[in-house]
Amino acid sequence: MLLSEELKWRGFVHQSTFNELTDLDKSTLTFYWGVDPSADSMTIGNLAAAMLVKCLIKHGYKPVLLVGGATGLIGDPDGKADERSIKPMTEIQHNKEAIIKEYRNLFSGVDLKIVDNYDWFKGMTYLDFLRDVGKHVPMSQMLAREFVQTRLGENGSGISYAEFSYVLIQAYDFLVLNDRYGVSLQVCGSDQWGNSIAGVDLIRRKTGKEAHVYSVPLIVNKATGKKFGKSEEGAIWLNPTKTTPTTFYQFWINADDAGVEDYLKVYTELDPSSVSAIMQEQLQNPEKRPAQKLLAHEVTKLVHGPVQTQAAEAVTEVLVDNSRIAEISDEVAAVLRAEVSSATTNSGGTIVDALVAAGLAVSKTDARRLLQSNAISINGQKVSRDNFIPEDFINGRLLIRRGKAFKDTAVIELG
């Protein structure tokens, strides 16, 4: 399959400066993709762009990955209604190191060139910047940006000179990478199109060379029509300390039926025959959600590795009552405790006390009310009694739940 064909099949066709998509098949280019260290992790929004990067690498394109130590000190204002807070250098440094670690994890086995734009900005004077960059960027171009018009409009919050100039910093990145490493293509998210085009224009004005931009489309949840990648708790992060591997896995396994085929194409490296086969199985057994299970397995393995994926799958099986908690290993039990609340009890302990200790009830009165209203289950079976019985515990533990939500589940173990 040619690169242009794979981009079409995966749904990666969006804005581009190439005349024809097939232009990408004619030669391999050196390209760059950058992430600002505004947080100490990327999200699955970034992951969509990373999968486009992996696709380009597979077809022989050479990557340069940028971490925005300089741009992170300002913060991209595009899409933001208000001025960003300035982050301290120590936080930026921590975030840079975390992003670089995720780069190396996602692109393991690839000969990577990782750069930091702070390296070429830290010694640059203000006058140098005005002469080398500002002189070549028309004000009309900068003022025409949609977010600038919004900020400066009647009900806008205004914009500082620092945020207004952000686009110049990113444009200069492209110029530097073009000069030092022969980068002639920038890959970006759909929200970075304007910043990236500024780099193409700067390279043309300064050097007369041709450069290009290719953006990944915004991934949309077809069931809601909203941007894909948010949960009730917020963003889905790649950092396991921000979104645990099990929570990450469960996000994917709960993907909507309408969009699961698209997500398989964007977020995995499965080939067309594999995706076609699993979607056929999905049609035959929709209640078993085979496509969501494969999606969750593949994406979690890519981001967190096979060991964490196996643990996430085992914990999820327990939480949906497809396997008894007694059957899991101590290692999986430890992962389960990290995902849900837990408490210990003894032979004289009661369900009422355990519900309070695990945070599933605010008081003993509340616990008794929940039991009487048939809202409590033990190992998947509804209970209304106040006390445990020996059969509740197998291998010294049980799973107790209030209602149906995973978050309202607790592990109770004999102490």
Share of the chain above pLDDT 90, in %: 70
Single pTM value for the model: 0.89
Average the pLDDT over 85-99 and give the result.
Answer: 93
> pLDDT value at position 323?
60
- What gap in Å lies between CA 316 and CA 409, rounded to an integer? 12
> pLDDT value at position 11?
96
Whether the pLDDT of residue 378 is over 80: the answer is: yes
Place of tokens 């799958």: 313
Name which of 50-54, 176-180, 228-232, 383-387 the model is least confident about. 228-232
> pLDDT value at position 149?
80
Q: How does the average pLDDT of the chain come out, rounded?
A: 91
- What gap in Å lies between CA 254 and CA 252, rounded to an integer? 5
List 13's β-bridge partners, or say none.
none
Distance (Å) of CA 81 to CA 188, 218, 226: 21, 19, 19
- What gap in Å lies between CA 393 and CA 320, rounded to an integer? 18
Share of the chain above pLDDT 70, in %: 97
pLDDT band at residue 152, thresholds of 50, 70 and 90?
confident
pLDDT band at residue 14, thresholds of 50, 70 and 90?
very high
> pLDDT value at position 63?
97
